A = this chain, B = another copy of it.
Amino acid sequence: MTEAVLTPDRILDAAEDVLRRFGPAKATVLDVARALNVSHGSVYRHFKTKAALRDAVTERWLARVSTRLREITAAGGDAQDRLRQWLDTLVECKHRLARTDPELFATYTRLTDETREVVTAHVADLAAQLGRIIADGNDQGLFAAPDPLLAGRAVLSATARFHNPVNIAEWSDPALSADYAAVLDLLLNGLRTGRPE
């Protein structure tokens, strides 16, 4: 049916679709192959294992998030506003996926459980972006963080409840956004004057 050549990207599109429909527990490589009208052997030509395919789907989603955040990181202007906007975006991204694509979100969560390298790299990337914003804040005289990268890791840790998928059960708590606002205020305040470590 489909005439186009089989590329990793087309496979990823199909895999994402299959995961969305069947969820991480039911989706098979055979399903992905069927969706593309090819044999499963062809899928294995592009992805060594099923885990590699799943990781690639997740990596692509994480890359999209990261790119979106990087725009905020790179933009100039008040570091405090940028930090807020950056975290708001991160939290909103996660919550939106959890709401609109629960099955795809489950795939991503499962990956987190298994502490795969992909997630570690993503977290390091996010911490580095935060570190960058905080360093800018230091330059602007808004913050006084002696070790911006460590402060970045700390801000990411401290907001984990609001963006780490393992906490999904708490995301329906009506007090969540009040808690988020309070944490953010506390953190920004902490970055401003003090010597955090």
Query: What residues make up the interface of A, taking CB atoms closer than 8 Å to B?
Result: 112-113, 115, 147, 150-151, 153-155, 157-162, 164, 166-167, 169-170, 175, 178-183, 185-197
Contact = CB atoms under 8 A, between A and B. Distances in A.
Nearest to A155: B186
State the number of copies, please.
2
A167 B109 CA distance: 12
Contact of A153 (B160, B179, B188, B197): B179
A150 B9 CA distance: 47
A112 B169 CA distance: 9
Contacts of A115: 169-170
3 A-B pairs closest in CB distance = A189-B194, A190-B190, A154-B182
29 contacts: A112-B169, A113-B169, A153-B179, A154-B179, A154-B186, A155-B186, A157-B161, A157-B162, A157-B182, A157-B183, A158-B158, A158-B159, A158-B186, A161-B161, A161-B164, A181-B197, A182-B197, A185-B190, A185-B195, A185-B197, A186-B187, A186-B191, A186-B196, A188-B190, A189-B189, A189-B190, A189-B193, A190-B194, A193-B193
Nearest to A176: B157
Given A151-B186, A157-B180, 8 more contacts: A113-B169, A153-B179, A154-B182, A157-B182, A185-B195, A185-B196, A186-B187, A189-B194
